[in-house]
A and B are shown apart, each in its own frame.
Chain A
Amino acid sequence: MSSYSVRSWVTIGLFGALWTVVEMTLGSYLHVIFPPQANTFLAGVVLGGLGVAVALTGRHFVPERGSVFLIGVVTALLKLLSPGGVRLGPSVAILVEGALMEAVLWLAWRPRRWAFVAGGALAVGWNLPHKFIMMRLLYGQGVLEVYTKMVQEGSRMLGLAPSAAWLILAILLLVYLIVGAIGGWGAWKLGGAVARRLGRRDLAASEVSR
């Protein structure tokens, strides 16, 4: 992080704050509007998609490696220390989303459109296993048995094969991935549009010139 200037840290703080504002304002609305059952899925999709869009837009203006992860760290800390009470699950999800986006950008070496799209998809896709992993961490081993029994009993009650549960999960994952990809693609376009208007270096232009 020695290459980070004051401007880099300021921009990281700004985009971290913007992600937090999205989480706090829109998150509150979603929790009020939707019932708890729909909430887990819908809130995850909407907030995840917007969150990755914000963080990846920030990458346009902080070209150093690790910046997207640090935006996630700032957001997670603000979420954890917010006066509304400790929200461990969302904070961990934000941290992991930041790490996943950063990993894809790191693999791509230089910022590319496909890396933004793939990073966004992977980050929002994390929201599906996140719930199960957090439950496993909080409740311990026993929750696995509960999941298995719930799938068996649920499929028996609905007259479906237990394998249908996997199909439902796959469809949900696909929705997450598509929304994340749209978020990443939107961040690429948005960052470029703002950079052009402010007369700053546009990543899309540098991608074409290579």
Chain B
Amino acid sequence: MSPWGYLLFTGWAALAAVLVEGGWLAGLALVEVACGLLWNRAGLRVLRQPHFWAFVLAAVAVGPFLIGEPDVTWGPLHLSRAGLLAGLEMAGRAFVLMLALSLGAASLSLSDVVAVFDRLGLRGLGFAVALALNLLGTLQEMATVVLQTLWLRGGTRRPVLALRLFLITTVANLLRYGDEAVNAAAVRAFDPHKRQSVPLPLRQADLWLLLLLAGCTGVLLAAHVV
């Protein structure tokens, strides 16, 4: 599938997560899990993270206590059935929304994002994102070297001055890297205003996805009308 397909799915799933209610959220979750199993299991990795479940299940845990009037007594606890249902719905909505975004982010690589920016006429932004990603490790290394140098030269004795020197040196070094990157871009005749003809065609799988999503939307609309 092309990046357009992934973007379409993510947008559709996020919109549906906000619009659908009740048991339909479970259906939407099933569609998302099925799509994740089909094309990118890395996107489902979020389901193995404890903090994801803690966030989702928090709504189920507090719902019976804080929403609606208590109508069930369970030992010392006074619970609300309406609150439990509302909590389940809140948890379901959080689940499908976070899973949709996780699938989208896991399916799109950085080169996909840069290519999409190129096609949208935002070539400079794609270039900036790619440059930033490539420089992350270098920047971390550079900041560590500056910090250790200041430390070895007695920076701990005058911490305010050391902090000032650290910040100035880090930003100055950053801009020096910038000069090198500008030179490298000039050597390659990079022009942020020129539209590059990077092909990013729709694929057959995108069409199938479009049909599937149209079908799902139809079912949801029909159920809403009925």
Contacts and interface: CB of A to CB of B under 8 A. Distances in A.
Contacts of A167: none
B24 interface: no
B128 interface: yes
Given A11-B175, A86-B46, A17 B135 contact: yes
Contact of A10 (B65, B94, B125, B182): B182
B178 A4 contact: no
B103 to A, nearest CB: 9
A13 B171 CA distance: 13
Interface in A1-22: 1-2, 4-18, 20-21
Contacts of B59: 139, 142-143, 146
Interface string A132-158: 000001111011011001100100000
B90 A6 contact: no
Contacts of B63: 142, 146
Interface string B73-114: 000000000000011011101100110011001101010010
Contact of A14 (B98, B143, B178, B193): B178
B131 A10 contact: yes
Interface residues of A, number: 51
Contact of B168 (A70, A140, A193): A193
A85 B45 contact: yes
B90 A10 contact: no
B98 A10 contact: no
Interface of B: 18, 45-46, 49, 59, 62-63, 65-67, 86-87, 89-91, 93-94, 97-98, 101-102, 105-106, 108, 110, 113, 122, 124-125, 127-133, 135-136, 139-140, 143, 164, 167-168, 170-172, 174-175, 177-178, 181-182, 185-186, 190-193
Lowest 10 CB-CB distances: which A-B pairs, in order? A13-B128, A13-B131, A17-B132, A149-B66, A139-B90, A9-B124, A13-B132, A138-B94, A16-B132, A86-B102
